[in-house]
Chains A and B, each alone.
Chain A
Amino acid sequence: MARPSLPAVICRDCALYHTARVLGLESPDCSQLDAMVIRNRPVARGEALYAAGDPVRYLYLVHSGACILHDGRDPQQVTGFFLPGEIVGFEDLDAEIHGFSAHALQAGSLCLLDLTGLDQLPAERLIGVQRYLLKAAAAHARLLQRERLITGLPSAEQRIAAFLLGLAKRFQAHGLPSNSFRLPMSREEIASYLGLAPETVIRTLKKLAGRGLVSVRARQIQIHDPSALERLLAA
């Protein structure tokens, strides 16, 4: 049983596991994928996955913990968060070097898929892997599209509500508790991502808590009334 503070996806729910299957390697521990996959590599809090300017080589699947993406030109600007079951690195795949930088927000573990290894695969297997990665990329595009709607919302209250609901949905999509979770990111990081002032984020969370929609204790969030939050968005 994973510690509640560190939710982890089970391998069966993991994109790389399915990649392993299409590769024809049924073994659930992915051990035969050694050439292409680095499995369950531990990362420390704050550790860099890649920095802007690094060559593009891996896709990183978050097994446990969470990651954060920053704009390469402006290290203060947060452009994305990645939760267990999600893949980091799609945004730079059409380039040779990374334009963004990614870090672990907390201690956790990652599985790495070495893209340079793809070329060595026989064509019939390559097709399967690429097909799977294509779907995973499409899933990420869809996530970005949903996140995009958040920044379009007019009020801070709506953005925060949508942000929390978005996290809940993403946890739920990978079989993790979705009504009670720990925010892997700081208030400042949320503020940067949503284009709000940090004080506004703090004040708005208090306001939502005051109305009984959520409970907030440090980074622990409990959503009491998801449908009331949804209604806020449509107001």
Chain B
Amino acid sequence: MPSNKVISLDKIQISCQSCGLNNICLPLGLEDRDIERLDAIVQRNRPLRRGNYLFQTGDPFKSVFVVKTGTVKTYTQCPDGSEQVIGFHLPGEVIGLDGIELGKYICSAKALETSAICEVPFHKLEALTATIPNLQHQMFRLLSREISNDTSLMTLLGKSTAEERLAAFLLSLSMRLHSRGFSATEFNLSMSRQEIGSYLGLALETVSRLFTHFQEEGILKVNRKYVEILDLERLYGLLSHQTICLEKLRAP
């Protein structure tokens, strides 16, 4: 199983230069010398435990955060007080950048499992961009990608069947994990069925029913949080041809 609940401190303290995620994270496109300067401002705090907050909606925007290990959920509150999941963030994904406009965070971020986080204080990051234009360009790219993903998601939510939504979600997770060196077909879901439902605009029962259905069809093997994709081809086949640009669904 790919997920390792024990996080070694050595692994957390690893520098940007030798981090396996530096090809998708902030250092992308930077010279070695500049990566070193970026590394010098990164704070590597104690890992968050499940349920701990990185920040809450309305908190002053002070830092951007990168998931090093684990998974972080971002969400906002609906007018009726219920929770709307905005996204699930895997290692290498940057969180909080969208707070730059208003100077405060526009959603809440919470660890779904024990997660190591790199914190980059924004005033230091901004000072660095004055001499490393590529760094700002990369921030802009990361934000564009977020916009791209959210726009694709509007498509998915606008028309697709429940089956297509869950298939697209699982395929997106599979690709994102794969591009980070994890297995594309075996993984632990760190989010609950309820949270998946909130993200995809589906009722909890629908999500649970579909997992059972996919399992009966021989597409998946599911054991609580553990998922094994037995038939990737058929999962792809569930997406109606024109439904979504899947490559767009794939965050970094």
Interface residues of A (CB under 8 A from B): 69, 71-74, 77-80, 90-95, 99-100, 123, 126-127, 130-131, 133-142, 144-145, 147-149, 151-153, 162, 192-195, 230, 233-235
15 A–B contacts, CB within 8 A, in A order = A71-B152, A71-B242, A78-B158, A79-B151, A93-B144, A127-B129, A127-B133, A134-B100, A135-B101, A137-B147, A142-B101, A145-B107, A148-B86, A195-B158, A233-B79
Is A73 within 8 A of B141, CB to CB?
no
Q: Which residues of A contact B248 (CB under 8 A)?
A: 99
Most chain B CB neighbours (cut-off 10 Å) among A72, A127, A194, A235 = A127
Judge whether B3 is part of the interface by a CB distance below 8 angstroms.
no
Query: In the complex, what distance in Å separates the CA atom of A139 from the CA atom of B148?
Result: 14
Q: Check A137/B143 contact, CB under 8 A, given A77-B159, A144-B154.
A: yes
Q: Check A127/B136 contact, CB under 8 A, given A77-B158, A90-B147, A148-B153.
A: yes
Q: Check A138/B78 contact, CB under 8 A, given A94-B141, A130-B140, A195-B158.
A: no
Q: Which residues of A contact B201 (CB under 8 A)?
A: 151-152
A6 to chain B, nearest CB (A): 26
Query: In the complex, what distance in Å separates the CA atom of A20 from the CA atom of B243?
Result: 39
B80's closest neighbor in chain A, by CB? A234
**Lowest 5 A-B CB distances belong to which pairs?**
A93-B144, A138-B101, A233-B79, A74-B242, A141-B98
Q: Check A142/B98 contact, CB under 8 A, given A79-B154, A151-B154.
A: yes
Judge whether B99 is part of the interface by a CB distance below 8 angstroms.
yes
Judge whether B6 is part of the interface by a CB distance below 8 angstroms.
no
Choose one: B98, B99, B157, B244; the contact of A71 (CB below 8 Å): B244
B246's closest neighbor in chain A, by CB? A73
Choose one: A80, A95, A126; the contact of B154 (CB below 8 Å): A80
Is B76 within 8 A of A149, CB to CB?
yes
Q: Check A130/B98 contact, CB under 8 A, given A73-B245, A99-B245, A195-B159.
A: no
A13 to chain B, nearest CB (A): 15
Is A138 within 8 A of B148, CB to CB?
no
Q: Which residues of A contact B1 (CB under 8 A)?
A: none
Q: Which residues of A contact B80 (CB under 8 A)?
A: 233-235
| Beyond A93-B147, A93-B148, 8 extra complex contacts between A and B, CB < 8 Å | A133-B140, A141-B147, A152-B84, A194-B158, A233-B78, A233-B80, A234-B80, A234-B81
Choose one: B84, B100, B159, B242; the contact of A192 (CB below 8 Å): B159
The secondary structure that dominates the A interface is helix
Choose one: B86, B136, B152, B244; the contact of A145 (CB below 8 Å): B86
Chain B 84-126, CB-CB to A under 8 Å as 1, else 0, gives: 1010000000000111111000110000000000000000000
Choose one: A99, A142, A151, A235; the contact of B102 (CB below 8 Å): A142
Q: Which residues of B contact A77 (CB under 8 A)?
A: 155, 158-159, 242
Is B154 within 8 A of A130, CB to CB?
no
Q: Which residues of B contact A147 (CB under 8 A)?
A: 154
A90 to chain B, nearest CB (A): 5
Is B155 within 8 A of A93, CB to CB?
no
Query: In the complex, what distance in Å separates the CA atom of A149 from the CA atom of B78?
Result: 7
Q: Which residues of B contact A142 (CB under 8 A)?
A: 98, 101-102, 106
Is A152 within 8 A of B154, CB to CB?
no
Q: Which residues of A contact B186 (CB under 8 A)?
A: none
Is B106 within 8 A of A234, CB to CB?
no
Is A234 within 8 A of B79, CB to CB?
yes
Q: Which residues of B contact A130 (CB under 8 A)?
A: 129, 133, 136-137, 140
Query: In the complex, what distance in Å separates the CA atom of A139 from the CA atom of B146?
Result: 12
Query: In the complex, what distance in Å separates the CA atom of A131 from the CA atom of B122?
Result: 13
Query: In the complex, what distance in Å separates the CA atom of A190 from the CA atom of B158?
Result: 10
Q: Which residues of A contact B100 (CB under 8 A)?
A: 134-135, 138
Query: In the complex, what distance in Å separates the CA atom of A144 from the CA atom of B147?
Result: 8
Judge whether B139 is part of the interface by a CB distance below 8 angstroms.
yes
Query: In the complex, what distance in Å separates the CA atom of A136 from the CA atom of B97?
Result: 12
Query: In the complex, what distance in Å separates the CA atom of A145 from the CA atom of B150?
Result: 8
Q: Which residues of A contact B243 (CB under 8 A)?
A: 73-74
Choose one: A91, A149, A195; the contact of B151 (CB below 8 Å): A91
Is A151 within 8 A of B147, CB to CB?
no
Query: In the complex, what distance in Å separates the CA atom of A198 from the CA atom of B137?
Result: 41
Q: Which residues of A contact B141 (CB under 8 A)?
A: 93-94
A74 to chain B, nearest CB (A): 4
A54 to chain B, nearest CB (A): 15
